[in-house]
Amino acid sequence: MLWNALTRLNAHFPEGFTRSEELDHLVETFGHVRTRNELKATISTFFKAGLVRQKPLQNQEEKCVFIAKLPETEQAMAKVVDEAMLPRLANACQSNRVPLTHKAVTPLLLSTYTTAELSDLIEASSALAAAHVSKGDDPSRLLRSPSECQRVS
C-alpha cells in the first residue's frame, strides 16, 4: 500500500501538497479499505523515511508545501522505510530491555534481507537509537516528524 500511496501522491500533486491535501487525497483513494488512522500512520511513515519532504520555500510568505520523493523502485522504497523504522523499534526494545532479534524483526520489515544484511541493519539501528538516547534526544522523534515544517534542501 505504501508504494501505491506514494506514487499516487506524486502523480496527483506534482507541484506539491499541504498536509491536509495529502490526507484528503489518501482518504479519497484508500478510505474504502483503510481507516483514517491507518492513513495517518502512512503519512507519518512517509515523513520519517524522508519520502515526503518540505518543498524549498521561495519566500517567507509561502505556506508549507510538501513533495513526494519517489524512489526508483518499490524495493528501494521498502529498504528506505525499513531503515527509518528500525531505529525506533531498536529504541523501544532498549527502553524495555527486550532483545532485538532477527526472529522478532523479520516479519515487521517490508524488504527481505540476508542474515548478514539483517545483522548489520539491526546493529546500525541499535547504535543510532543508543546515540540519540545518550545525547538526550527524545527517542520518539528519531529522524523526521510530519509536524515539523522546516526547510529541506
Tens of pLDDT, residues 99-149: 889 998 999 999 999 999 999 999 998 888 888 666 665 544 544 443 444
Predicted local distance difference test score (pLDDT) of residue 132: 67
Tell me the three state secondary structure of residue 56: coil
Using pLDDT thresholds of 50, 70 and 90, give the confidence band for residue 78: very high
Mean pLDDT of the chain: 85
Range of the domain at 14: 2-68
Q: How many residues does the chain have?
A: 153
- The answer to whether the CB of 21 falls within 8 A of the CB of 33 is no
Of 77, 65, 1, 67, which is closest to residue 39 (Cα–Cα)?
A: 1
Residues 16 and 64 in one domain: yes
What's the confidence (pLDDT) of residue 6?
A: 94
Domain count of the chain?
Answer: 2
Measured between alpha carbons, how far is 1 from 3 in angstroms, rounded to an integer?
A: 6
Domain annotation covers residue 91: yes
Cβ atoms of residues 105 and 95 within 8 Å:
no
Domain final residue pick, 34, 50, 68? 68
> Which pTM was predicted?
0.77
80 in the same domain as 50 = no
Residues 139/123, Cβ–Cβ less than 8 Å: no
The answer on 51 and 11 residing in a single domain is yes
Per-residue pLDDT for 90 more than 50? yes
**pLDDT score recorded for residue 150:** 41
